[in-house]
């Protein structure tokens, strides 16, 4: 294992009976980076994380987490990590402070270390003065920050965050990514799962997983440059759904997807397709504000790759 890697995964597999939830995946996570693990519900993200946290036995394959083998050294793995589970592992009926104290005891923090870290958690969670509130009464965004604070109370070098931004409003989601950035700036390695494709932009490296298999791997820049070779046209229309229904039937439309009032269409030839689209929309009296060539977003790339998988 290169000393630059915090996590090295090789052929990791999980079968539940005859069903393969995670199918021989391999990847490496560099120390201190934000590593995004993207995929739809059921893709195998939580199962992978639970194996990497040595909470679930793998069916095949290996992984080193913080230099320790998940199969041979599960206790050392657990000492090296923080884990925020998908359902935020807080006790709803305890107060904010009681939750922090609980995690402090689990991690064996000394009294002075706990006092210092408690201040830090209350600060990053913006919960100063709210120590006695019942955790269950906090809104999603505050719970999420408290759960993250508790997961890294013992200053682990590696932290696993399983869909930390699910069920949280967009503003709190953005703020939460700032917090993840702060952790990474302190040298903590962060492996974070999300089904929000647009959140991939916040990660240094990403894998996209589908039905237990990795279908793409790289930095946001590499992913944008290496997959979609054909031009993408963006059509702006107030009638974007009608425009899509019409355009997606055309033999030259490679793939189409809607983003708000914009339609993205992959095409083989920019000039020819531009003419075709103008003609079609005019003929069907679908108003449009403009047609522009754009460079693909990560979402475009992921939708394209998932489409390719679905066609297999």
Ligand X SMILES: Nc1ncnc2c1ncn2[C@@H]1O[C@H](COP(=O)(O)OP(=O)(O)O)[C@@H](O)[C@H]1O
Binding flag, residue 194, ligand X (CB under 6 A): no
Question: Among residues 264, 226, 215, which one has the least CA distance to residue 38?
Answer: 215
For ligand X, the binding residue among 3, 18, 41, 283 (CB under 6 A) is 41
Any contact of residue 44 with ligand X (CB under 6 A)? yes
Stretch that binds ligand X, among 43-51, 71-79, 167-175, 239-247 (CB under 6 A): 43-51
Residues 100/118, Cβ–Cβ less than 8 Å: yes
Q: Alpha-carbon distance 164 to 182, whole Å?
A: 16
Asked whether position 309 contacts ligand X by CB under 6 A, the answer is no
Q: Is 285 in the site for ligand X (CB under 6 A)?
A: no
> In the beta sheet, which residues pair with residue 27?
9
Per the DSSP assignment, residues forming a β-bridge with 9 are 27, 63
Contact present, 109 and 117 (Cβ < 8 Å) = yes
Q: Is 46 in the site for Mg ion (CB under 5 A)?
A: yes
Compute the least distance from the CB of residue 7 to ligand X, in Å: 17
* Cβ distance to ligand X smaller for residue 49 or 190: 49
Q: Which does 152 bind (CB under 5 to 8 A by kind): Mg ion, ligand X, none?
A: none
Q: Which does 43 bind (CB under 5 to 8 A by kind): Mg ion, ligand X, none?
A: ligand X
- Considering only the stretches 9-17, 37-45, 124-132, 167-175, report the one whose residues sit in contact with Mg ion under the rule CB under 5 A: 37-45
Q: Name the one range near ligand X by CB under 6 A: 36-44, 109-117, 132-140, 266-274.
A: 36-44
Place of tokens 């977003």: 297
Partners of residue 82 on adjacent β-strands? 159
Which token pair is 131?
């120590």
Helix, strand, coil: what percent of the chain each, to 5? 40, 30, 35
Q: Which residues contact 125 (CB under 8 A, 6 or more apart)?
A: 96, 142, 145, 146, 148, 149
Give me the least distance between CB of 16 and ligand X, in Å please.
Answer: 3
Q: Hunting for tokens 């997983």 — which residue is that?
A: 209
Residue count, binding to Mg ion (CB under 5 A) = 3
Q: Is 91 in the site for ligand X (CB under 6 A)?
A: no
Comparison of 45 and 264: residue with beta carbon closer to ligand X: 45
Q: Which is nearer to Mg ion, 96 or 209 (CB)?
A: 209
Q: How far apart are CA 141 and CA 27, in angstroms?
A: 31
Nearest distance, CB of residue 37 and ligand X, angstroms: 9
Near Mg ion in 47-86, by CB under 5 A = 86
Is 39 an interacting residue with respect to ligand X (CB under 6 A)? yes
User: Among ligand X, Mg ion, none, what binds residue 104 when CB lies within 5 to 8 Å by partner kind?
Assistant: none
> Is residue 24 within 8 Å of 67, Cβ to Cβ?
no
10 Å Cβ neighbour count for 112? 8
Q: Which stretch binds ligand X (CB under 6 A): 26-34, 41-49, 58-66, 228-236?
A: 41-49
| End-to-end C-alpha distance for the chain, whole angstroms | 35
Report the interface residues with ligand X, using CB under 6 A. 16, 21, 39, 41-47
């Amino acid at each position: 294992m290169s000393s630059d890697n915090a996590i090295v995964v090789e052929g990791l597999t999980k079968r539940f009976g005859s069903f393969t939830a995670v199918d021989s995946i391999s990847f490496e996570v560099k120390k201190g980076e934000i590593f995004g693990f993207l995929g739809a519900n059921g893709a195998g993200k939580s199962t992978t994380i639970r194996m990497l946290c040595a909470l679930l036995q793998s069916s095949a394959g290996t992984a080193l987490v913080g230099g320790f083998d998940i199969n041979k050294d599960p206790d050392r793995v657990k000492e090296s990590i923080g884990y925020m589970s998908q359902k935020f592992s807080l006790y709803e009926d305890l107060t904010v402070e009681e939750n922090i104290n609980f995690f402090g005891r689990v991690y064996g923090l000394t009294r002075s270390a706990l006092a210092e870290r408690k201040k830090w958690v209350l600060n990053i969670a913006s919960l100063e003065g709210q120590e006695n509130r019942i955790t269950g009464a906090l809104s999603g965004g505050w719970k999420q920050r408290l759960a993250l604070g508790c997961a890294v109370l013992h200053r682990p070098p590696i932290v696993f965050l399983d869909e930390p931004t699910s069920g949280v409003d967009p503003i709190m989601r953005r703020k939460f990514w700032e917090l993840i950035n702060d952790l990474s700036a302190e040298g903590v390695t962060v492996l974070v799962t999300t089904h929000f494709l647009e959140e991939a932009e916040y990660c240094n490296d990403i894998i996209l997983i589908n039905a237990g298999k990795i279908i793409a791997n790289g930095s946001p820049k590499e992913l944008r440059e290496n997959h979609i070779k054909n031009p993408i046209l963006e059509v702006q229309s107030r009638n974007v759904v009608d425009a899509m229904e019409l355009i997606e039937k055309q033999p030259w439309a490679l793939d189409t997807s809607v983003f708000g009032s914009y339609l993205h269409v992959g095409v083989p030839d920019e000039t020819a397709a531009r003419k075709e689209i103008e003609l079609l929309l005019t003929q069907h009296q679908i108003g449009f504000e403009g047609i522009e060539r754009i460079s693909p977003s990560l979402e475009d790339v992921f939708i394209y790759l998932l489409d390719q998988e679905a066609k297999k």
